[in-house]
Amino acid sequence: MNQKLTSMLVMGALMAFGSTAAMAAPDWSKVPKKDIHVFHPGAAPIEWTAGKGDHSGASGIKKGEACAGCHIEDGKLSLDLKRLASKEMEPKGAPKTMTYPVGVQAAYDATNLYVRLTFKAPTGGFDKSDKTNEVKASIMFPNDKVPLGDQAGCWAACHKDARTMPGADDKKTKYVTPGAMDLMQWRSGDGGKALDGAVTDKRNMEGGKAGVTAEGAKAGDTYTVTFTRKLAGGVNLAAGKAVPFGVAVHADNAGGRFHHVSFGHTLGLGADGDVKAVKQ
């Protein structure tokens, strides 16, 4: 083999290695973890949250305040869980565990965002309509055109006329108008599956632009789910900026609205945020 050919092969191997290294998952032992508490919201749509009379925080929302500003104190939820579990808010039946923490870690490089979720999925849910998936973990990123997206996070996509809401159309999915949300989800069934979707005037679980991949595993009673997505997706992320996001977990084979969700939080990529992504 001549020297020129050998040099080309070596350079090609180094370039391939460099490309692989740039795409390598972070060393999570060096990435700080932030506990975000998720809770079962019952049949409370965004209209209830922002409407008059039923929700005392509606006036604050109209002033531009975030839901988390009132309902999170010292990193923990401040909620009337008895009301959320009541027939008024959950006419079909509330889960035995109304709230639990999800550990969130994030890192980024020039191309990708990496997010790892760690949680113990509770049992004792009312709804077990998803026979295939014991657990589904989702993260949503609203763009700046979604009404209340920066205040309520993914809750802005939950409307009273969407499927599984009392008396609603079973064919209507979550939606936002105007604006859009990137949706990435990992499903535990059939060996694990990643979905790259989007929410606009309807929810599409496929066809997203973020190039989402995901891996999940269960050790003992703890799930670890790691997402990778492009910074340049449907909702563009960039170093030096913070973006709103929300987390949802369907546990114990739950389907539809019988999930546990977070309030809207911020993810800072080299910027301040509730969760700070580490540059690698």
The pLDDT of residue 98 is above 90:
yes
pLDDT in tens, 143-167: 999 999 999 999 999 999 999 999 9
| 257 assigned to some structural domain | yes
249-275 confidence digits (pLDDT tens): 999 999 999 999 999 999 999 999 999
CA distance 148 to 66: 8
Domain that holds residue 256: 30-279
Residue 14 pLDDT class (50, 70, 90 cuts): very low
What is the rounded distance in angstroms from the CA atom of residue 253 to the CA atom of residue 136?
8
The answer to whether the peptide bond before residue 178 is cis (omega within 30 degrees of 0) is yes
Domain membership of residue 165 (yes or no) is yes
Q: How many CA atoms lie within 13 A of 77 on its CB side?
A: 21
Mind listing the pLDDT tens digit for each residue in 27-42?
999 999 999 999 999 9
Q: How sure is the predictor about 110, in pLDDT bands with cuts at 50, 70 and 90?
A: very high
Inside any domain, residue 13? no
- Note whether residue 114 is domain-resident: yes
pLDDT of residue 23: 55
Residue 35 lies in a domain: yes
In a domain, 24, yes or no: no
Number of domains in the chain: 1
> 104 vs 1, 10, 44, 139, 176, CA distance in Å?
51, 39, 25, 11, 25
- In whole numbers, what is the pLDDT of the chain averaged over residues? 91
| Domain of residue 81, CATH code | 2.60.40.1190
At position 162, the amino acid (one-letter code) is A
Quick check: is 14 in a domain? no
pLDDT of residue 193: 97
Specify the pTM: 0.90
Measured between its terminal Cα atoms, the distance across the chain in Å is 38
| pLDDT for residue 9 is more than 80 | no
Phi-psi region of 137 (alpha: psi -120 to 50; beta: other; left: phi over 0): beta
Q: Does residue 97 lie within any of the structural domains? A: yes
